[in-house]
Amino acid sequence: MKLLICLSTALLVVACGPSSPTQSSDTETTTKMTSTITTTTPAAPSPPVVPAALLTQANLDRIQNDMSPAEVEVILGQPSSSQSQPIPIVGGTQTTYTYQNATSAVTIVFKNNKVKEKSGTFGP
């Protein structure tokens, strides 16, 4: 019974909030609290730029059909971007690695984790 009375009293205090504002003579005093919350959205990370020394025709020539993504990354490093999608009808996955810098771009297409296509353009 004591526990029930204590719980009821606690609920009333929580539900009703703190006691009413202080009153003196004919003037009512209230305090208003405000707070400002500032949120920032982090900027999207920019894609990595591949060093020009890696994006060369000689390195593209080293990429051979049936190489794995790991073998390609040893030669060209991490791609600037990659995209994977299912291969319709036949099944499996096609992944496209794109390597870019200010003057050159290389695209490597993997089908089921094996190089099947490659292309590149190289600037000065």
pTM for the full predicted model: 0.61
For the chain, the helix, strand and coil percentages under 3-state DSSP, each to the nearest 5: 25, 25, 50
- Amino acid, single-letter form, for residue 86: P
- Given this model, what pLDDT does residue 28 score? 55
> Following CA atoms 121, 83, 79, 122 in sequence, which dihedral angle do they give, to the nearest 10 degrees?
0
For 49-76, the pLDDT digits (tens) are 777 678 999 999 999 999 999 999 999 9
- With a cut of 70, say whether residue 25 has pLDDT above it: no
CA atoms within 13 A on the CB side of 22: 3
- With a cut of 60, say whether residue 116 has pLDDT above it: yes
CA separation for the pair 40, 52 (Å, rounded): 34
DSSP assigned state of 56 = S
- Amino acid, single-letter form, for residue 92: G
- Given this model, what pLDDT does residue 61 score? 97
Cβ-based neighbours of 105, under 8 Å, separated by 6 or more? 55, 98, 99, 120, 121
- Given this model, what pLDDT does residue 46 score? 62
For 94-115, the pLDDT digits (tens) are 999 999 999 999 999 999 999 9
- Given this model, what pLDDT does residue 4 score? 44
- Given this model, what pLDDT does residue 36 score? 57
Fold of 57-121: Beta-lactamase Inhibitory Protein; Chain:B, domain 1 (3.30.1450)
Tokens of 85: 């999608």
E-strand spans in 64-113? 81-86, 93-100, 105-111
For 33-48, the pLDDT digits (tens) are 555 565 555 665 666 6
The domains of the chain are located at 57-121
